[in-house]
Chain A
Amino acid sequence: MIAETGHYALILALGVAIVQMVLPVIGTRLRDPQLTAIAVPAAQLEFVLIAIAFFALMTAYVTSDFSVLNVWQNSAAAKPMLYKISGVWGNHEGSMILWVLILALFGAAVATFGTNLPRQLQANVLAVQGSIAVAFLLFIVITSNPFIRIDPAPFDGQGMNPVLQDPALAFHPPFLYAGYVGFSMAFSFAVAALIDGRIDAAWARWVRPWTLAAWMCLTLGISMGSWWAYYELGWGGFWFWDPVENASFMPWLAGTALLHSALVMEKRDALKVWTILLAIITFSLSLMGTFLVRSGVLTSVHAFAVDPARGVFILAIMGVFIGGSLALFAWRAPLLSQGGLFAPISREGSLVLNNLLLTVACAAVFVGTLYPLGLEALTGDKISVGPPFFNLTFGPLIVALLIVAPFGPLLAWKRGDLLAAAQRLMAAAIVALLVMVLVLAFTQKGPWLAPLGVGLGVWLILGAVTDIASRVKLFEAAAGEAWRRARNLPRAAYGGALAHAGLGLVVIGIVATTAWRAERIEALAPGQTIDIAGYQLLFGGVEPRQGPNYRARVGMFKVTRNGSPVTELAPSKREFTVEKNTTTESAIHVSWRGDLYVVLGDQLKNGAYSVRVYFNPLVRLIWLGGLVMFFGGGVSLSDRRLRVGAPKRARAKTVVKAEAVPAEK
């Protein structure tokens, strides 16, 4: 019954989405306020209906209702509750429901909180959102229905891939999707502006918070995915340039560029056409990410050709939305007026450079990800494009970006003074150089580029500090004056500086752990020790243990450092009974110097166990930096100018004035 309710709600939501897509556009054309106003309740109702469908599916998972095919395929009665819930989106059908749920949530938010938007813009935005919902609801109902029943109901489910039974991966998809789908807001605003043929700085102000929120979610989602890969894959890698990762990284790169170009548009009314195009590109890349991951084209081009129903459907969705929006862009963009002029050396100029490097870097990832697929489809030749390709193409662009990043915020709008900016950054540059020299002096081994990388990270962090210091006139003005300025500085300025500093942390973490990781691979018998990075690990043997839905063999390690005990580590092998699958688990000891990472292998013929131990220096900075970037986005989002309520109060005042005018007539 509950599953049928969900199914019914899903189909109703499709009907409501069609109404939301069609009527408001007709309303704005006919200048009929009542038709236009339908957009708001339609978007809200659509959200309610999809939420009913989502929770119906979740109920089926939580109560282990194996008469629902999707639950039977992806769950089991003995699975812990967290993974029963995350199992809802741990499979294709459920994840698409989550996708449309987040889409509807964003739409309902614009309907409910966007009361300060011009009616026509709001209606058009919601209509575009409605059209995306129609496409994906059709996709779910036709090709990916999660509410199909089986009769008779089996006694137990087939379980979930043990690799996915993990806390970080439970929350990874919701954040990733919130990012993907969040960029649909920027897309809808861009298309609505093109339909209107009108765009101004206020448009950028409305788009920025949505883009920022989407960017934050995507940043966190990618960080979680990388963190999971780090402990999950058992050798401490954190990024693999895998097509699935690239699929989420491309929208992130384009979205980061969009954040920066929207800044120019909001402040200086320039780069309008480009910002609109970038909004379209960013969401197109999100759609492509969904296509790559959901169509099965990545596992093999042939698998895709054998069962093409889903892939072709998403491909059609992509064709309609990307092709349609680009055609609309080509037709309407020339109508948009060009705004503020600026000199090449200026804040705007630096943001153009930022956009250039980010979009070309995105293009490098795009080519590296899609070229092997295209080549195989066209000629049948199979090639691999791995990390070496991306290091050679993506790497130099990003290094260039990191070098110039601290200059941008120190340049004035319209016409900047590069020399003055350089002088302000002198201290940061000197410290970064000193760090480079020190690192070079204290590390005997490792690639010679590594100290440069660490210096680059320090440069970014100190550049961010310099930015804030020069804005509050620290050391220039009296302490009281600096304090007053620091309090009055907009939160967006702090947010931007935090995000740049977070990026610096990520860079240091990546460089340090790539260049200076230590590794020991040995066959250990109980009682033997292994030495790494100043730690001694005493192997105490292996003992069996029983988990909720698995059996484990746990290796016991006593870790000491210079004779004093540090911790005990227990890496293990888990055997999942329902799924008939084995996983190897790492054990990690975290310290400020880095991670001690132990993996237990198989028993060898002579009774010893093969053991792998790594020391990954400063690796935590990668995810700490990701968190700082996320936090920086949040601080920027809380800026008064972007707050939903703030413009409303200002508007209330103007309304009073506006009413006063006719009274005088």
Chain B
Amino acid sequence: MTPRSLVRTWIFSLAVVLSVASPAFAVQPDEMLKDPALEARARALSEGLRCLVCQNQSIDDSDAPLAKDLRILVRERLKAGDSDKQIIDFIVARYGEFVLLKPRFEPHTWILWFATPLVLLAALAGIIYGYRRRESTAQAPKPLTAGEKRRLKHLVGEG
């Protein structure tokens, strides 16, 4: 950042302290695991799991009691020595696929996952087709006839 834009950022943020409403309060200190490696895994897992009673919020971000239960459940499984995949499978078996923020790649989600690349390919094909067709229908400028060339030479004063 240049000094000038720094000044601007400063001016922009003159309302230095904002205090505003917020309902959510996620991971609590007493929930956290002692082992930082395990806790990091717990956080990573929590970010991919949906709080079932919230709108598109992960259990890591939500303060709903159900999210808290799930966070504790994840940590209990971690302490028991489960792998990440085992924990995810365990929770999906209990709460259904709805709990996953990243849908699994299975027949019922093929359309979901393939839609974007297919639209991209179709649009590309459409553009190429449209361009080809226009090129073939549009008249390319014909080369000058001998008479026109003579006239051109005459006009530019070389004749």
- A: residues with CB less than 8 A from B are 162-163, 165-166, 231-235, 237, 240-244, 298-299, 338, 341, 344, 352, 356, 359-360, 363-364, 367-368, 371, 375, 379, 381-389, 393-394, 397, 521-523, 567, 569-572, 574, 582-592, 599, 601-602, 604, 610, 612, 620, 624, 627
Contact = CB atoms under 8 A, between A and B. Distances in A.
A433 to B, nearest CB: 18
Q: Which 9 A-B pairs rank lowest in CB-CB distance, beginning with the nearest?
A: A386-B101, A388-B102, A234-B22, A590-B13, A583-B21, A382-B98, A364-B116, A523-B29, A367-B115
B16 interface: yes
A569 B112 CA distance: 45
Interface stretch (B81-89, B118-126, B143-151): B118-126
B155 interface: no
B115 A363 contact: yes
Interface of B: 1, 6, 8-10, 12-13, 15-30, 32, 48, 50, 55-58, 61, 63, 96-103, 108-109, 111-113, 115-116, 119-120, 123-124, 127, 131, 134, 138
Nearest to A597: B18
Given A521-B27, A521-B29, A379 B108 contact: yes
B22 A298 contact: no
A585 B12 contact: no
B29 A584 contact: no
A384 B101 contact: yes
B9 A521 contact: no
Contacts of B120: 356, 360, 397
A298 B50 CA distance: 16
A150 to B, nearest CB: 29
A163 B30 CA distance: 27
A620 B9 contact: yes
B10 A592 contact: yes
B16 A389 contact: no
Given A384-B50, A384-B103, A599-B22, 12 more contacts: A234-B25, A235-B26, A356-B123, A382-B97, A383-B98, A386-B50, A387-B101, A389-B101, A389-B103, A393-B116, A584-B21, A588-B18
B134 A232 contact: no
A240 B20 contact: no
A269 B121 CA distance: 26
B110 to A, nearest CB: 11
Contact of B56 (A166, A242, A583): A242
B123 A583 contact: no
A210 B116 CA distance: 30
Contacts of B8: 624
Contacts, number: 182
Nearest to A388: B102
Contacts of B29: 521-523, 604, 610
Contacts of A352: 127
Nearest to B21: A583
A233 B102 contact: no
Contacts of A599: 22, 25
Contacts of B119: 360, 363-364
Contact of B138 (A341, A382, A523, A570): A341
Contacts of B112: 367-368, 371, 385, 389
A497 to B, nearest CB: 15
Contacts of B63: 234
A569 B17 contact: yes
A163 B56 contact: no
A160 to B, nearest CB: 11
A612 B32 CA distance: 13
Nearest to A624: B12
Contacts of B101: 384-389
Nearest to B96: A382
B19 A383 contact: no
A166 B98 contact: no
Contact of B20 (A232, A356, A375): A232
29 contacts: A166-B20, A232-B22, A232-B23, A234-B23, A241-B56, A242-B55, A243-B55, A338-B134, A352-B127, A356-B124, A360-B119, A363-B115, A364-B115, A371-B111, A381-B108, A382-B98, A384-B50, A386-B102, A393-B113, A567-B16, A570-B17, A571-B19, A583-B21, A583-B22, A584-B25, A586-B18, A586-B22, A590-B15, A591-B13
A397 B124 CA distance: 13
B95 to A, nearest CB: 10
Nearest to B20: A231
Given A383-B97, A383-B103, A587-B18, A624 B9 contact: yes
A345 B141 CA distance: 19
A97 B12 CA distance: 33
Nearest to B114: A367
B48 to A, nearest CB: 7
B131 A344 contact: yes
Contacts of B123: 356, 359-360
Contacts of A364: 115-116, 119
Contacts of A572: 19
Contact of B97 (A360, A381, A523, A585): A381
Nearest to B128: A344
A233 B61 contact: yes
Contacts of B20: 166, 231-232, 585-586
A356 B23 CA distance: 40
Nearest to A588: B18
Given A360-B120, A393-B116, A567-B16, A231 B22 contact: yes
Interface centre among A384, A397, A599 (most CB of B within 10 A): A384
Contacts of B109: 371, 383
Contacts of A620: 9, 12-13
Given A231-B18, A363-B119, A604-B29, A298 B111 contact: no
Q: Which of B13, B27, B123 has the most CB of A within 10 A?
A: B13
Contacts of A397: 116, 120
A298 B55 contact: yes
A344 B124 CA distance: 13
A585 B30 contact: no
Contacts of A604: 29-30
